[in-house]
């Protein structure tokens, strides 16, 4: 756990609410759990959790009665107001069962806010809870995009920003766990956004839900190479293939991140930037970015990367993955057509 948090905890200076923000894979949930363990531990070691007492064991097993994690129910993309009012708020005012504090961890805190601009009843309910905090309960919000939360919510939390481990570090862990080749684990690291458990889940999930990573990688490389000259039937076929190989939003949004990284690397190569700042420096991805840099200008490539990143950010607002991809690919195709001739 971070030294600043440990110092605050050791001096009894705990806030009633925290906001942990950072990209997928930055360890927000793990930090929240370790913080709760440190406070509830019965045998502290230098202010941190011992990891062996009954409280630490319960926390590690996910069964500690004073630590609860919440996410939108039934796989929804937003929190129903009922869930926040009847479940989370009610539990916030319960008395701790066996420790000095209760911890309520709200994952995907951005899901409290409706993207349509409608009245944010969920965020309003949370704000009331922050304004009238329970004495013995600590709220921890986890957010990938904290800027989507109202300022009134953010200002009432102690904000801790986290960074994910770099792809090289993630690739080292994945290589030891999987035995895959270096370029394969780098692709997996980028696909998972630096989230090791998510990356391993892509490999080890149920067969019917498991993405076809080999075909997905090949499809992404072909798409990035050929999109500018694809016919419309070919474009729609590519969208269908990518959607089918991904088997769901988590891998599909990761695939968009890889596509954006390919365009970004190619733009930087075209601008003469050193390889040290590139995402891909070996394997077919590196070869592709060299080819793109030689055939497309940095301006077009940068615009393509920005459009894909915007789509990645907006992706889960759309219920139809295939239609979403078709619209995105049509937009990218139009950008190619409107680009100045090299």
pLDDT band for position 212 (cuts 50, 70, 90): very high
pLDDT number for residue 196? 81
179 part of a folded domain: no
180 part of a folded domain: no
203 part of a folded domain: no
Q: Of 143, 139, 118, whose CA–CA distance to 129 is shortest?
A: 139
Q: Of 94, 180, 194, 190, whose CA–CA distance to 144 is shortest?
A: 194
Confidence (pTM): 0.70
Phi, psi of 20 (to 5 degrees): -100, 115
Look at 199 and 1; give whichever has higher pLDDT.
Answer: 199
pLDDT number for residue 229? 94
51 part of a folded domain: yes
CA torsion 87-93-95-100 (nearest 10°) is 110
96 and 224 in a common domain: no
pLDDT number for residue 5? 65
Structure tokens at 202: 């892509």
120 part of a folded domain: yes
7 and 134 in a common domain: yes
234 and 131 in a common domain: no
Phi, psi of 2 (to 5 degrees): -60, 140
121 and 219 in a common domain: no
251 and 128 in a common domain: no
CATH number of the domain where residue 26 is located: 3.40.50.300
CA 77 to chain centre: 14
Look at 20 and 26; give whichever has higher pLDDT.
Answer: 20
Contact at 8 Å (CB) between 65 and 28?
Answer: no
CB atoms within 10 A of CB 60: 14
107 and 10 in a common domain: yes
Structural domain including 306 reads: 211-338
Q: Is the pLDDT of residue 64 over 80?
A: yes
- Angle at which helix 196-204 crosses helix 167-178, to 10 degrees, equals 40
Q: Is the pLDDT of residue 47 over 70?
A: no
Contact at 8 Å (CB) between 190 and 258?
Answer: yes
Distance CA 195, CA 164 (A): 8
220 and 99 in a common domain: no
Of 121, 141, 161, the position where a domain reaches its end is 161
Q: Which residue has the tokens 């615009």?
A: 303
Domain count for the chain, please give it: 2
171 part of a folded domain: no
CATH number of the domain where residue 239 is located: 1.20.272.10
Structure tokens at 28: 């927000």
**CA triplet 191, 194, 196: central angle to 5 degrees?**
95
Distance CA 182, CA 175 (A): 7
pLDDT number for residue 8? 62
148 and 79 in a common domain: yes
Look at 318 and 139; give whichever has higher pLDDT.
Answer: 139
pLDDT band for position 288 (cuts 50, 70, 90): very high
DSSP code, position 48: B
217 and 148 in a common domain: no
Q: Is the pLDDT of residue 10 over 70?
A: no
Of 142, 161, 180, the position where a domain reaches its end is 161
169 part of a folded domain: no
Helix (H) or strand (E) holding 183: helix 182-191
pLDDT number for residue 119? 52
DSSP code, position 255: H
Structure tokens at 24: 């997928």
pLDDT number for residue 237? 97
233 and 136 in a common domain: no
- Tens digit of pLDDT for each residue in 231-245? 999 999 999 999 999
227 part of a folded domain: yes
Strand, coil or helix: 336: helix
pLDDT number for residue 111? 84
141 and 247 in a common domain: no
Helix (H) or strand (E) holding 141: strand 137-143
Of 161, 187, 221, the position where a domain reaches its end is 161
266 and 125 in a common domain: no
Q: Is the pLDDT of residue 308 over 90?
A: yes
Structure tokens at 45: 């070691």
pLDDT number for residue 208? 80
Strand, coil or helix: 5: helix
In our burial notation (b when 16+ CB lie closer than 10 A, e otherwise), range 271-296 reads eeeeeeebbbeebebbebbeebbeeb
- Angle at which helix 283-295 crosses helix 213-226, to 10 degrees, equals 10
Q: Assign residue 89 a region (left: φ > 0; alpha: ψ between -120 and 50; beta: otherwise).
A: alpha
- The DSSP bridge partners found for residue 17 are 139
């Amino acid at each position: 756990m971070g030294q600043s948090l440990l110092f605050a905890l050791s001096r009894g200076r705990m806030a009633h609410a925290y906001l942990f923000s950072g990209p997928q894979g930055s360890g927000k949930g793990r930090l929240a759990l370790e913080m709760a363990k440190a406070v509830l531990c019965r045998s502290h070691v230098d202010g941190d959790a011992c990891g062996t007492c009954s409280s630490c064991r319960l926390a590690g097993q996910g069964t500690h009665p004073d630590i609860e994690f919440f996410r939108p129910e039934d796989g929804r993309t937003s929190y129903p107001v009922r869930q926040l009012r009847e479940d989370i708020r009610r539990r916030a005012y319960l008395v701790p069962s066996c420790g000095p504090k209760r911890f309520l961890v709200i994952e995907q805190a951005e899901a409290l806010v409706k993207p349509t601009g409608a009245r944010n009843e969920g965020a309003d309910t949370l704000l009331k809870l922050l304004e009238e905090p329970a004495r013995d309960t600590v709220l921890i919000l986890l957010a990938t995009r904290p800027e989507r939360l109202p300022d009134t919510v953010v200002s009432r939390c102690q904000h801790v920003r986290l960074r994910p481990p770099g792809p090289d570090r993630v690739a080292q862990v994945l290589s030891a766990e999987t035995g895959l080749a270096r370029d394969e684990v780098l692709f997996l690291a980028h696909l998972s956004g630096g989230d090791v458990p998510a990356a391993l889940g892509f490999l080890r999930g149920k067969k019917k839900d498991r993405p076809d990573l080999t075909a997905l990688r090949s499809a992404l490389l072909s798409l990035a190479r050929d999109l500018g000259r694809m016919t419309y039937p070919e474009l729609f076929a590519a969208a269908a293939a990518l959607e089918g190989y991904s088997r769901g939003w988590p891998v599909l949004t990761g695939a968009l991140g890889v596509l954006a990284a390919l365009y970004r690397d190619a733009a930087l190569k075209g601008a003469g930037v050193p390889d040290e700042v590139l995402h891909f420096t070996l394997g077919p991805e590196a070869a592709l970015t060299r080819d793109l840099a030689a055939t497309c200008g940095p301006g077009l490539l940068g615009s393509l990367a920005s459009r894909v990143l915007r789509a990645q950010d907006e992706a889960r607002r759309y219920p139809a993955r295939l239609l979403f991809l078709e619209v995105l690919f049509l937009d990218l195709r139009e950008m190619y057509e409107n680009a100045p001739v090299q």
